[in-house]
Amino acid sequence: MRKLLLLGLFLIGLGWALSNFSGLAAQGTYDSLILDFREDIGAAQIESQVQTIAQKYNVTPRLNSAFSFQDHIFIVKGDRALLKALKKSELKKYTEFIEPDYVYSTFTPPNDPDYGKQWNMRSINVESAWDDTQGEGMTVAVIDTGISQVPDLNETKFVKGYDFVNDQADANDDNGHGTHVAGTIAQSTNNEFGVAGIAYKANLMPLKVLSAGGGGTVADIAESIRFAADNGADVINMSLGGGGESQLMQEAIDYAHEKGVVIVAAAGNAGDNSASYPARYPHVIGVSALGPTGTKAPYSNFGAGVDLSAPGGAKEGEDPTGGILQNTINPETGESVFESYQGTSMAAPHVAGVAALVKAAGVKEPDAIEDVLKQSALQVKDDDLNHYGAGKLDAAAAVKLAARGQITFRDFFRWLRDNGYLNPRFWIDGGVIALWPKLAMVLGSYLLAWFLRNYFPFAWGWTLSTGLVAGSSGLFFLKGFYLFDAPQFPFRLLGSSIPEWGGAVQGTSALNPIFASVLIPLALIALLLGHAQWKWFAIGTTIGVAACLGVSAVMSPSMMWLGDGTIARGFLIVNALLCLALARLVLKPGVQST
């Protein structure tokens, strides 16, 4: 009874999780059904059933194409109700299956009509990042001229802000700069209007420190930083700056950093060989600007204080297409307009938006988020003047790096879907007795796939596969192969894995500690690491040996000179871990062949 109760609770929980998982919420659309008649029934029976369906349900079944006759595949217009009725009718006895004729389509970008004009979004690979997160639950404070809730921010969530210029609660924009910056961060997206934002499910906190003329004081900016930190901001964007170092602002930045806030600032637009303040302060990510061609924009500051580069736009003449397009206000009339701006002010919110995505993906500490942004950036060689900092912002790579090593429900259910494990027939076939082995198989295979994907991101090829076979099992089917009058030694050796070679040579099943260790993988790595193709054989062998030693430690830890007890088992486990560590070391970014 207890097991049945646990089984019921498990199935209820699994069903609830599946129904609430956003990646599975859309079960597909269709307006017709597929009828696949059995191969062993005649044309007369099929014709009879087709006529019965037509008369009873007032529909017209038809062959799908000129190639459908042989397989007896018919299509009929219908919805969920007709699908349910046909599955319960006598028709099911004559068909192999009755199922929806789902409509598939190309994967499309956001439905915002002017998204195609946002070259900046595509240049940072944000669409792939959206597969994992859109910034849910994050709050980005925009310290600027305020934010006006223009139409393309209608679906964006706002939290309490403040106007430090006029000392009031409403932080409305009377310049247009802050609203434009806010749009890059979290413009309402997939709302069939206007353009898109990067972390479009994040909250915006409007903090006005700049007047209608675009100027503001250090005191107001410092107070706004503390306000943001005290009121739940995860990221602060400051598309502003100037000369002169301020202890008050430095203290405010340190305070926000200690409270876990990521702080981003624009490098400045003077073309100088150093970033403006506050971008130059420690604990602030200074951002230089890129033009549409991916090179440093002519106006952008560079050098000291630049940590990353991101799209800022560069319009030539009156051509608006090179700028950053967002919904903002006309400062003279206050009316909503779509305008293309350029500047490091436009570059900084790209980094702030991606920082929100990274934090939503699970990285919490500001220094760790900055490391993720820098490590995932596209590096630029020969950047002696530090035009680009750590490199060009890459949203997809940043989110992928942030999620590495984490086991999330979103990833698990996506893996279930992609591998066909959401088919109810898989779980029903075999009954309750087969359920637990299937569950163990699915969980185990997911954990293995997760481990390999996150810690061994290798590219499969014949050299890698050969190494895996040699290290883990060998051509095991040859071990017992017998050819009249032929020596058995070659077959025994080919049928053994590398850790078993010592025993195969001596004709014993016990493992030789020299072969059953990290020594041979280490030698192969040392010899082949400099070869572009054969290094993968060495890596595959190292992983295969690790697998063989791990299994042997559990199943049959019999070793020459060490016996089959605790010492032998410990020896095998230690060397298996050393092999894994060696493979991981070789696969780490930055370890290159010479």
Helix axes 395-403, 344-360, angle to 10 degrees: 20
345 is catalytic: yes
Q: First CA to last CA across the chain, in angstroms?
A: 64
Query: What is the value of pTM for the model shown?
Result: 0.65
Least confident of 187-191, 315-319, 512-516: 315-319
- Residues 260 and 476: their CA atoms lie apart, in Å, by 55
The confidence score (pLDDT) of residue 256 equals 97
Residue listed under structure tokens 């298996």: 576
3-state helix, strand, coil in the chain (%, to 5): 45, 15, 45
Active-site residue among 72, 177, 180, 350? Answer: 177
CB atoms within 10 A of CB 159: 14
**Which amino acid, 250?**
Q
Active-site residue among 101, 112, 132, 144? Answer: 144
| pLDDT per position as a tens digit, 343-364 | 999 999 999 999 999 999 989 9
The confidence score (pLDDT) of residue 11 equals 46
The confidence score (pLDDT) of residue 590 equals 42
Does 107 or 166 have the greater pLDDT score?
166
CB atoms within 10 A of CB 565: 11
The confidence score (pLDDT) of residue 326 equals 97
Binned at pLDDT 50, 70 and 90, residue 23 comes out as very low
Q: Which residues contact 251 (CB under 8 A, 6 or more apart)?
A: 222
DSSP codes, 381-433? TT-TT-SSTT-B--HHHHHHHHHTT---HHHHHHHHHHTTTT-HHHHHTTTGG
Least confident of 1-5, 444-448, 527-531, 554-558: 1-5
Would the pLDDT of 474 be above 80?
no
Per-range mean pLDDT, top range of 83-87, 183-187, 312-316, 472-476: 183-187
Query: Burial letters for 71-103: b for 16+ Cβ neighbours within 10 Å, e otherwise?
Result: ebbbbbebeeebbeebeebebeebbeebebbee
CB atoms within 10 A of CB 514: 12
Active-site residue among 123, 345, 472, 473? Answer: 345
Residue listed under structure tokens 């791990």: 550
